[in-house]
Structure 1
Amino acid sequence: MSSRGRIASMVVALVAGAALTACGGDSEPDSRSSGTLVSSTAPSTPSGVPDLGAAEEIARGIDVPWGLAFLPDGAALVAERDTGRIVRVMAGRAPEQVYQVSGVVARGEGGLLGLAIPRDYAENRWVYAYFTAESDNRIVRFRLDGPQEVVFSGIAKAGNHNGGRIQFGPDGMLYVGTGDAGQTDRSQDAGGPNGKILRLTPKGQPAPGNPTPGSPVYSLGHRNVQGLAWDRTGRLFAAEFGQNRLDEVNLIEPGRNYGWPTIEGTGGADRGFTDPLLTWPTSAASPSGIAIAGDTLYVAALRGERLWTTTITATTTLTAPKPLLTNQYGRLRTVAVAPDGALWLTTSNTDGRGDVRDGDDRILRFPAR
Structure 2
Amino acid sequence: MAEKAPEASLQLDSSLLGMQTIAAGLDVPWEICWGPDDRIWFTEQNGSISRLDPTTGEKKLLLRIPEVWRHRSAGLLGMAVGKLIDNQVYVFVDFTHRHDSVITSRLVRYRLDGDTLVEARLLLEIPGNTGHNGSRVVLSPGGLLYWATGDAANLANAQNRASLNGKILRLHTDGSIPADNPDPQSPVWAMGFRNMQGLTFSATGRLYASEHGDATDDEINLLLPAGNYGWPLVEGFTHTDKEKQVQPAGSMPPLKAWTPTIAPAGMEYYGSDLIPEWTNSLLLGTLKDQSLRVLQLDARGEQISTEQVFLEKALGRIRDICVSPQGEVFLATSNRDWNPAPGFPKPQDDRIIRLAPDQRRAATVYSATAPGDPTTAQATTAQANPNPETIYNQYCASCHKPDGRGLPGSFPALKASPLVNGDPQALIHLLLKGKKQMPAFEFLSNQELSAIGSFIRSSWGNNQTAITEPTIQLSRNK
> Following the alignment from structure 1 to structure 2, what is the Cα–Cα distance between the partners of residues 289 and 308?
11
CA distance 1:186–1:269, change in 2 (3 Å): same
Please point out which of 307, 310, 316 is paired with 1:321: 307
Match of 1:136 among 104, 111, 126: 104
Relative contact order: is structure 1 or structure 2 higher (C-alpha 8 Å, sep ≥ 6)?
Answer: 1
| Number of the residue aligned with 2:294 | 309
Contact 1:74 1:340 in 2 (8 A): no
* Counterpart secondary structure, 1:126: strand
Change (3 A) 1:121 1:304: farther
Structure in which a larger fraction of residues adopt helix: 2
- In structure 1, which of residues 346, 356, 361 is the aligned counterpart of residue 350 of structure 2? 361
| 1:78 corresponding residue in structure 2 | 42
Aligned to 1:339: 325
- Distance in 2, matches of 1:358 and 1:121, equals 43
Q: Distance in 1 between matches of 2:35 and 2:214?
A: 35
CA distance in 2 between partners of 1:258 and 1:349 (Å): 30
- Kept in 2, the 8 Å contact 1:165–1:227? The answer is yes
1:202 matched to 2:173: yes
Amino acid at match of 1:139: L
Q: Determine the C-alpha separation between the residues in 2 that align with 1:324 and 1:202.
A: 36
| Counterpart residue type for residue 245 of structure 1 | T
What 5-or-longer segments of structure 1 have no aligned partner?
A: 1-38, 43-48
- The reply to whether residue 251 of structure 1 matches residue 222 of structure 2 is yes
The answer on whether the counterparts of 1:136 and 1:153 sit within 8 Å (CA) in structure 2 is no
Q: Would you say the 8 A contact 1:40–1:92 is kept in 2?
A: no
Q: Look up the match of 1:278.
A: 256
- For the 8 Å contact 1:50–1:341, the answer to whether it is kept is no
**How far off its partner does 1:341 sit?**
1.6
Quote the offset at 1:349 in angstroms: 0.4
- The 3 A distance-change label for structure 1 pair 201 and 322 is same
Match of 1:289 among 256, 259, 266: 266
Give the superposition deviation at 1:203: 0.6
Q: Secondary structure at the match of 2:197?
A: strand
Query: What is the match of residue 22 of structure 1?
Result: none
Matches of 1:269 and 1:215, distance apart in 2: 29
Q: Which amino acid aligns with 2:353?
A: L
**What is the total number of aligned residue pairs between the two structures?**
323
Within 1, Cα distance between the matches of 2:14 and 2:333?
18
Q: Secondary structure at the residue paired with 2:87?
A: helix
**Residue 10 (structure 1) aligns with:** none
Cα distance in 2 for partners of 1:278, 1:244 equals: 16
> Greater shift after overlay, 208-217 or 274-283?
274-283
Per the normalisation by structure 2, the TM-score is: 0.64
Cα deviation, 1:7-44, whole Å, max 9, x if unaligned, reads xxxxxxxxxxxxxxxxxxxxxxxxxxxxxxxx8699xx
Match for residue 155 of structure 2?
184
**Match of 2:294, as an amino acid?**
T
Q: Which moved more, 1:300-309 or 1:228-237?
A: 228-237
CA apart distance, 1:368? 5.6
Tell me how far apart the structure 2 counterparts of residues 322 and 147 of structure 1 sit (CA, whole Å): 42
Moved more, 344-353 or 333-342: 333-342
Q: What residue in structure 2 maps to residue 215 of structure 1?
A: 186
Query: Alpha-carbon deviation of 1:222?
Result: 0.3
Cα distance between partner residues in 2 of 1:57 and 1:353: 23
Report the Cα distance in structure 2 between the residues aligned to 1:280 and 1:262, rounded to whole angstroms.
Answer: 17
Equivalent of 1:150 in 115, 121, 124? 121
Q: Structure 2 CA distance, aligned partners of 1:121 and 1:98?
A: 22
Identity fraction in percent: 33
SS of the residue 1:243 aligns to: coil
1:62 aligned to 2:26? yes
Local SS of the residue matching 1:55: strand
Q: Distance in 1 between matches of 2:292 and 2:62?
A: 29
Give 1:148 shift: 4.1
- C-alpha distance in 1, partners of 2:323/2:17? 16
Partner Cα distance (1:94, 1:251) in 2: 37
The Cα offsets for residues 274-317 of structure 1, whole Å up to 9 and x where unpaired, read as: 1100111244x201110111211111101110011111112411
The one of 284, 296, 300 equivalent to 2:285 is: 300
Whole-Å separation in 2 of the counterparts to 1:146 and 1:367:
31
Match of 1:99 among 44, 57, 63: 63
- RMSD, aligned CA: 2.2
